[in-house]
């Protein structure tokens, strides 16, 4: 559990990037499955965020450990909090069996959700991002996520400033969701892999009649894969062109829009795409995106650098992902663990 802090100020000297004040707590954490979760420390300083994850045994030391990072949009909020050096507790709901208190609280039990006090939680990623930035305006400005601008209608002489989120330089209709969908359809292209969940659902006669299912060994040279890659490159063309002229989506310094796009593409290209050798071909065709992804991944605020462990993430969530993306055959755990440890 996070320890209490005497001050609500977060001085840089108090924060060790390699050991951020971030804790993953599996739900339910209250007295019962139906009761609300533990929101300790409730110190006005620590953020409580709901995401997805589960507890599993770490075979390296035999300890039961909470694993988070399965809610992509929740991980976006985590990166913003880490960048601003704001301590937080990630309340991880099992994606296959969400805690009763959460299901009862919301009409639709999607994640993430943010604790706003008094037993009240709020959903919607955009609203959560806006709130955490508004709650920590100085940190947001210092890290470049927000900026001070002259307030409109300040009267004669002006002089009134307000803090606003630094805008993206990308077209307004070219949203992070469009990048997510591009990456998703690339990874989930058809035909499905032999042995995948989707393959198992196909009638045997249909599988035998379709020669595509006998050609999986050459996945990354197949016509279907090439078409999927071409579509990805087209869909990410605006991002690629922009990053050829600017270091980040928001200009010469990382902004909120960079985090929103990076986190979803990291899940798709790195956590998933590398499983099937799909990251390298994409990066070869999108060199500026590849450079930007590398710069973003190297930041201490990347949740998969110091908070979420890649090996434990795969151990805990492989089976869940195999059903979420049924077109692909996910490597056995020990096979992938061996690759990650190289």
The secondary structure of 303-325 as a DSSP string is HHHHTS-HHHHHHHHHHHHHHHS
Distance separating alpha carbons of residues 49 and 92, to the nearest angstrom: 9
**End-to-end CA distance of the chain, in Å?**
32
CB atoms near residue 147 (< 10 Å): 17
Distance separating alpha carbons of residues 169 and 59, to the nearest angstrom: 45
Sequential pLDDT tens for the chain (342 residues): 444 333 334 444 478 989 999 999 999 999 988 888 999 998 889 999 999 999 999 999 999 999 999 999 999 999 999 999 999 999 999 999 999 999 999 999 999 999 999 999 999 999 999 999 999 999 999 999 999 998 876 555 557 889 999 999 999 999 999 999 999 999 999 888 888 999 889 888 777 766 665 555 446 668 889 999 999 999 999 999 999 999 999 999 999 999 999 999 999 999 999 999 999 999 999 999 999 999 999 999 999 999 999 999 999 999 999 999 999 999 999 999 999 998
pLDDT value, residue 69: 97
pLDDT value, residue 1: 42
Cβ atoms of residues 326 and 197 within 8 Å: yes
Q: Which of 2, 78, 67, 71 is nearest to 40 (CA)?
A: 2
pLDDT value, residue 150: 85
Distance separating alpha carbons of residues 299 and 308, to the nearest angstrom: 14
Q: Which of 173, 144, 110 is nearest to 259 (CA)?
A: 144
Cβ atoms of residues 128 and 122 within 8 Å: yes
Residue 74 makes CB contacts below 8 A (sequence gap 6+) with 49, 50, 51, 52, 68, 90, 111, 112
Single pTM value for the model: 0.92
For residue 130, the SS3 value is: helix
111 φ/ψ angles, rounded to the nearest 5 degrees? -120, 160
């Amino acid at each position: 559990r996070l320890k209490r802090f005497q001050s609500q100020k977060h001085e840089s000297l108090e924060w060790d990037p390699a050991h951020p004040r971030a804790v993953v707590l599996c739900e339910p954490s209250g007295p019962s499955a139906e009761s609300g979760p533990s929101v300790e420390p409730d110190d006005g300083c620590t953020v409580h965020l709901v995401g997805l994850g589960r507890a599993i045994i770490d075979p390296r030391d035999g300890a039961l450990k909470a694993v988070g990072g399965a809610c992509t949009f929740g991980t976006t909020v985590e990166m913003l909090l880490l960048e601003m050096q704001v301590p937080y507790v990630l309340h991880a709901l099992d994606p296959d069996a969400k805690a009763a208190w959460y299901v009862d609280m919301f009409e639709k039990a999607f994640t993430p959700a943010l604790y706003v006090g008094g037993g009240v939680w709020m959903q919607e990623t955009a609203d959560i991002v806006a709130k955490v930035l508004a709650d920590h305006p100085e940190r947001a400005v210092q890290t470049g996520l927000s900026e001070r601008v002259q307030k409109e209608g300040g009267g004669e002489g002006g002089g009134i400033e307000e803090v606003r989120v630094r805008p993206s330089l990308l077209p307004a209709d070219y949203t992070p969701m469009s990048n997510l969908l591009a990456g998703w359809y690339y990874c989930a292209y058809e035909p499905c892999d032999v042995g995948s969940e989707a393959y198992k659902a196909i009638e045997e006669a249909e599988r035998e009649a379709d020669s595509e299912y006998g050609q999986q060994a050459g996945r990354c040279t197949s016509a279907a894969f090439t078409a999927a890659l071409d579509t990805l490159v087209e869909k990410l063309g605006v991002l690629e062109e922009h990053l050829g002229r600017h270091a980040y989506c928001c200009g010469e310094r990382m902004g909120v829009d960079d985090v929103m796009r990076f986190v979803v593409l990291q899940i798709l290209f790195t956590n998933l795409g590398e499983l099937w050798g799909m990251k390298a071909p994409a990066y070869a065709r999108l060199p500026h995106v590849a450079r930007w992804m590398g710069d973003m991944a190297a930041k201490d605020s990347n949740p998969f650098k110091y908070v979420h462990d890649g090996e434990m993430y795969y151990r805990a969530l492989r089976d869940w992902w195999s059903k979420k993306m049924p077109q692909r055959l996910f490597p056995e755990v020990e096979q992938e663990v061996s690759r990650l440890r190289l």
